[in-house]
Amino acid sequence: MSMKNVNTQFRTARALLVIAATLVSPAALAATYVLPPADVDLIGAITTVEATHEETLLDIARAHDVGFEDIVSANPDLDPWIPGEGVTVVLPTRFILPRAPREGVVLNLPELRMYYYPKPVNGEAPVVVTYPISIGRMDWQTPMGQTKVVKKVRNPSWYPPESIRKEHAEDGDPLPKIVPAGPDNPLGAFAMRLGIPGYLIHSTNKPAGVGMRVTHGCIRMYPEDIEALFEQVPVGEKVLIINQPYKVGWSLDALYLEAHQPLEEDAETLGKDMTSVTEMLVAATARRNGPVDWELVRTIFDRADGLPGQMSDSSPGRQDTGEIAVNAL
């Protein structure tokens, strides 16, 4: 077999793996993707739905497992509460994988998103599962760094810290020392305690807040998401909490940039200065050839809508949009 044929077969096999990374498992609804090769960073595809008469963007986000801020940023011209019957709604369901080891749980705070890389079993292809999350408010920041899951609890009781009880008391909403499991428990039915004292990944009795910065520092998930995750994540699983509002990655020969609004405490620096983005793009193109459209970089940086945009393509004439239209639920 000629070297040309070998290279062609290799590129074809690699392209099929990349295509597989856009496919969603039926059980997870836009959450589980085949993990692409190490030199490919994109998963998923941008999807669209038509809003029905009474749907809000909050309703559509929950139905398609995306967060509220995600869907609002992807549809800046729509009224979140009355988008309008028949209006096309963009679902932000394409992602650049974070710059982090592809193992365990990775939480990217400004993206308000979790990536979970379960260990393959029984020879199955490796996958990545991604979920929207809520994180700590500016005055109750979620800590960053490496930790792990140290305990898993079904139907947990909540023991509010004194600081939270004081805040509620000042707001005229006093809390008891113990909130038992049930509909009034903000931890919901599932909780995973982290190695950082006082912090959990947990369910919620207020799912409308998922995809926002609204917690006291814990990671909040849709009830259906953490129910699935709870069964997969073992005690001892690694958890990495990172701060990456800007992500750069390759898909085949095309380079992409994904921009999110920085955390409020970083807005004055990261939100106005493109230095970090420039450095990432320069480093990416130093390893692999590809011209960068710097005017488009600026547009995506300023827009910060969370949708990956193509920066370069070393194969002229090919545009990888990854767009799929689906029917509204």
User: Nearest 5°: phi and psi at 171?
Assistant: -90, 5
Question: How many alpha carbons lie under 13 Å from residue 151 in its C-beta half-sphere?
Answer: 10
Count other C-beta atoms under 10 Å from residue 79's C-beta: 11
User: How far is residue 237 CA from its own chain's centroid?
Assistant: 19
Tokens 């807005």, residue located: 267
Give the number of other CB atoms < 10 A from CB of residue 195: 15
- Sequence-ordered list of residues with C-beta below 8 angstroms from that of 172, at least 6 positions apart, any chain: none
Active site residue 168: no
Question: If you ran DSSP here, which 8-state letter would residue 300 be given?
Answer: H
Contact in structure between 306 and 74 (CB atoms under 8 Å): yes
Rounded to a whole number of angstroms, the distance between the first and last alpha carbons of the chain is: 50
Instruction: Return the biggest CA–CA distance within the chain.
Output: 78
Side chain identity at residue 9, one-letter code: Q
Q: Which residues pair with 148 in a beta bridge?
A: 238
Active-site residue identified among 53, 64, 168, 202:
202
Identify the sign of the CA torsion 132, 102, 259, 87. negative
Helix (H) or strand (E) holding 169: helix 162-170
Whether 313 and 253 have beta carbons less than 8 Å apart is answered as yes
- Could you tell me the two tokens for 203? 């369910």
Tell how far CA 93 is from the center of its chain.
9
The residue type found at 311 is: M
Q: Could you say which of 64, 216, 218, 260 is catalytic?
A: 218
Query: How many other C-beta atoms can be found within 10 angstroms of the C-beta atom of residue 29?
Result: 14
| DSSP designation for 134 | B
What are 158's strand-pairing partners?
179
Query: Which residues are identified as catalytic?
Result: 202, 218
